[in-house]
Amino acid sequence: REGGSVAGAAREAVPSGGGSPARRAADVALVGQAYLADADLRKLFSEATVKESQGNVRAAQRLYEKVTRLAPSYVYGWSNLGNTQVIAGDLLSAEDSYTRSISLCRSSLASVPPGSFAIRKCDDLWLLHLNRGALRLNSGANMAGDALRDLQIADELRGKPDANILQNLARAEEMAGRYGAADRHYDTAISMTSDAVSPFWLRAGMVKLQIGDLVGATDLARRVEVKFPEAPEVVAALAAMQAARGDVEGGRRRWGTMVERQRELFRDPK
């Protein structure tokens, strides 16, 4: 759908650039549009969304690129293009597309007269910031601060608890060393998804370990273990928690159940 989220789907990739300086400057001057008035362009955009929903990402990306060329002020042409670029692993281009969509959405909102109901508004700016924040969160530690700001904006704009925002926000806070805030946001996200154990629960457990809540940490890790019993991340986490509770030998034995290649993933490089 328009502005749909692929939060958390980003992976490392080889960059392909984000457009010329002249093109960027021209885009800044555009007033964003949240609706395509031209019927042919609406049809083209609809065809792209169908291709994307069918998993034909390359075809969808080509069509979204065409939409952005023909309608460079259309917010969702850029945001949906960014979604396909994330899936394709082109993270720098995806960030550029998300940034354009955010700028256009903000200019669109600024251009709508107060109290106007006849003009379609760009009413999901929060989702655009969530998408860019999740992308930045998966782009390395050097982007963690930018990711945190995006996710804080998304949380504020959303205006109500959103599990997807909160788990990403908590991870950004965790990376920034803000363990108390991360713990609170992880707890809220888990309370909203308690019927389905998710891998992010293990990160929440490790945050609890950081703040000294060994009981809460172990409880979350064991619940994840039930669903993912052989995952090395779970084994390593439980070994650390076991040692933290004073059972160092038991932690070592659990640690030893992993093969050396797995243990290397979790060793402190220091």
Residues 14-17: contacts with CB within 8 Å, 24+ apart?
A: 14/89, 14/90, 15/90, 15/91, 15/92, 15/93, 16/90, 16/92, 16/93, 17/92, 17/93
Q: Which domains are delineated in the chain?
A: 1-159 (1.25.40.10), 178-270 (1.25.40.10)
110: its two tokens:
């600024």
User: Helix axis angle, 125-137 relative to 163-175, nearest 10°?
Assistant: 40
Q: Please, are residues 17 and 90 in contact by the beta-carbon 8 Å criterion?
A: no
CB 181, CB 211: distance < 8 Å: no
- 11 sits in the region (left: phi over 0; alpha: psi -120 to 50; else beta) called beta
Exposure of 148 by Cβ count < 10 A (0-12 exposed, 13-18 middle, 19+ buried)? Answer: buried
User: Could you identify the residue written with the tokens 């998804």?
Assistant: 193
- What pLDDT score does 32 carry? 86
Closest by CA position to 88, among listed 15, 7, 4, 1:
15
Phi–psi pair at 33, nearest 5 degrees: -120, 135
**For residue 30, is pLDDT > 80?**
no
Distances, alpha carbon 90 to alpha carbons 56, 86, 166, 192, in Å: 16, 6, 25, 32
How does pLDDT run across 201-243, given as a tens digit for each residue?
A: 999 999 999 999 999 999 999 999 999 998 999 999 999 999 9
Mean confidence (pLDDT) of the chain: 88
- What residues contact residue 165 under an 8 Å CB cut-off, 6+ apart? 126, 130, 151, 154, 155, 158
The predicted-structure confidence for 107-162, as pLDDT tens digits, reads as follows 999 887 776 665 678 999 999 999 999 999 998 878 999 999 999 999 999 999 99
**What span, in angstroms and rounded, lies between the C-alpha atoms of 131 and 98?**
7
- In this prediction, residue 4 carries a pLDDT of 62
pLDDT digits (tens, 9 = 90+) for 151-196: 999 999 999 999 999 999 999 999 999 999 999 999 999 999 888 9
Tell me whether residue 53 is exposed, middle or buried, using C-beta atoms within 10 angstroms of its C-beta: 0 to 12, 13 to 18, 19 or more: exposed
DSSP state letter for 74: B
- pTM score: 0.84
Amino acid at 43: K
